């Protein structure tokens, strides 16, 4: 997969089959669209996903409260699994948003991206103030000589998957449901940084994860079963997302205790797949009570790994 950081850096001698969208989370619904644009004759056409960064709501409305399922780096990595040939991550800003619908079609889709066909949702809107819809796009297609394939409401409803539903499942701590909608385990990515080393004194050393992107959505506070691939070896562990109420912290942190791993991970970037919710976050009266509970969490996790075959 080739990655372009602007529509203006994209070059292809082939006509393109394009879809457009944020593709946040690259969930099952998105995956079905990717299949549509990658299934045509690859010798004659090349597949393109046009997405934007930052998210239009962040760029235009300064909406810093919006939380996304995937960072741009995570989304790029996920898309590599679906035979997409070209990913364009175009900077979204006020100037780009000012393009009227026909300018967007003629200058971007036709002139720059050499479109043969565009595959788009029935509810897609585009151009300045989102003024144009699928009917306008079909009319432009006839004028400029490209096909429009509409993903209809019935098809989307049958998939019954949306980023909104996944976000709700994650905020409820319902990892199984979120992973079912995603089609893969929800991931977080961050750098291992120094922590208070409390886990080490309890016999459960943890890697403290710093997530640099403040727009990344995290699941509900609690303890989770997770896994990570480190130097091509898969390790399971139990991860805590929360405020460490037993020691009176107020700042949210993410830390993971890996089973059977003694490697120094400081300053390494790791990707963690979250598999199951173990329990709610809880304040314990003493550190001994916390240590006892961590032992129970580990037993639960190891039994779960042993009995579960779908990881």
Show the low-confidence residues of the chain (pLDDT under 50). Answer: 160
DSSP H or E segment with residue 179: helix 175-182
Identify whether 162 is preceded by a cis peptide bond (ω within 30 of 0).
Answer: no
Taking only the tens place, the pLDDT of each residue in 8-18 is 999 988 999 99
- At 197 the pLDDT is 67
Among 198, 197, 259, CA closest to 228: 259
* Two tokens, residue 140: 């432009």
Q: Are strands 15-20 and 2-4 parallel, antiparallel or unpaired?
A: unpaired
| d(C-alpha 258, C-alpha 238), whole Å | 7
Predicted local confidence at residue 91, as pLDDT: 92
The beta strands (E) that lie in 147-221 are given as 147-151, 186-193, 207-210
Task: Tell me the Cα Rg of the chain.
Answer: 22
What is the model's pLDDT at position 222?
A: 95
For residues 236 and 301, the answer to whether their CB atoms sit within 8 Å is: yes
Residue 180, token pair as written in the block: 């079912």
What is the predicted pLDDT for the residue at 173?
Answer: 95
Number of alpha helices (DSSP H) and beta strands (DSSP E) in the chain: 11, 12
Q: How confident is the model over 81-126, as pLDDT tens digits?
A: 999 999 999 998 888 888 899 999 999 999 999 999 999 887 888 8
């Amino acid at each position: 997969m080739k990655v372009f950081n602007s529509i203006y850096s994209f070059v292809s001698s082939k006509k393109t089959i394009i879809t457009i969208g944020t593709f946040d989370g690259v969930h099952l619904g998105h995956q079905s669209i990717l299949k549509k644009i990658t299934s045509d004759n690859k010798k004659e056409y090349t597949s393109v996903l046009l997405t934007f960064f930052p998210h239009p709501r962040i760029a235009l409305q300064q909406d810093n409260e919006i939380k996304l399922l995937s960072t741009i780096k995570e989304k790029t990595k996920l898309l590599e699994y679906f035979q997409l040939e070209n990913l364009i991550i175009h900077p979204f800003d006020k100037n780009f948003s000012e393009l009227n619908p026909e300018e967007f079609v003629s200058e971007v889709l036709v002139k720059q991206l050499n479109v043969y066909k565009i595959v788009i949702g029935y509810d897609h809107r585009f151009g300045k103030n989102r003024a144009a819809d699928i009917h306008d796009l079909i009319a432009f297609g006839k004028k400029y000589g490209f096909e429009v394939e509409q993903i209809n409401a019935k098809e989307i409803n049958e998939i019954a998957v949306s980023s909104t539903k996944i976000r709700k499942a994650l905020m409820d701590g319902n990892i199984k449901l979120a992973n079912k909608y995603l089609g893969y385990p929800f991931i977080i990515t961050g750098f291992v940084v120094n922590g208070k080393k409390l886990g080490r004194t309890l016999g459960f050393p943890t890697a403290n994860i710093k997530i640099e992107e403040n727009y990344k959505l995290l699941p509900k506070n609690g303890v989770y079963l997770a896994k990570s691939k480190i130097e091509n070896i898969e390790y399971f562990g139990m991860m805590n997302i929360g405020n460490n109420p037993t020691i009176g912290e107020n700042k949210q942190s993410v830390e993971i205790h890996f089973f059977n791993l003694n490697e120094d991970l400081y300053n390494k970037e790791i990707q963690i797949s979250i598999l199951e919710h173990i329990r709610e976050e809880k304040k314990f009266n003493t550190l001994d009570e916390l240590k006892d509970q961590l032992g129970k969490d580990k037993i639960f996790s190891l039994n779960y790994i042993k009995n579960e075959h779908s990881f």
